[in-house]
């Protein structure tokens, strides 16, 4: 009877450690996504600023499109 109690406690400890590990991973991913979004948003702001200054021509919007698509992709899990 002691053996099954020990095994049960051991399984509970493993489950608890697994849950803690998964939570840590998710937290790290969330923090990274927030940092990436800031970088993408800064890139978008710089692109718009450069466009307004005339440094970017209307036919080179591909970079902006990629930044916007990346920003949207990073937001998908936030919904």
pLDDT confidence of residue 26: 92
41 lies in which domain range?
2-78
DSSP 8-62: HHHHHHHHHHHHHHHHHHHHHHHHHHHHHHHHHHHHHHHHHHHHHTT-S-GGGTH
Rounded to whole angstroms, how far apart are CA atoms 37 and 32?
9
Q: Which two tokens stand for residue 39?
A: 């970088």
- What's the pTM value of the predicted model, to 2 decimals? 0.63
Q: What is the pLDDT of residues 9-53, one digit of tens each?
A: 787 888 899 999 999 999 999 999 999 999 999 998 998 899 899
* Secondary structure class of 68 (helix, strand, coil): helix
Judge whether 33 and 74 are in contact, CB under 8 Å: yes
pLDDT confidence of residue 4: 53
For the chain, the domain total comes to 1
């Amino acid at each position: 009877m002691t053996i099954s109690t020990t095994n049960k406690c051991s399984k509970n400890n493993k489950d608890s450690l697994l849950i803690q590990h998964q939570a840590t991973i998710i937290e790290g991913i969330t923090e990274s996504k927030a940092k990436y979004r800031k970088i993408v948003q800064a890139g978008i702001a710089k692109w718009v600023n450069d466009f307004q200054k005339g440094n970017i021509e209307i036919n080179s919007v591909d970079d902006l499109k990629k930044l916007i698509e990346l920003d949207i992709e990073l937001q998908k899990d936030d919904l």
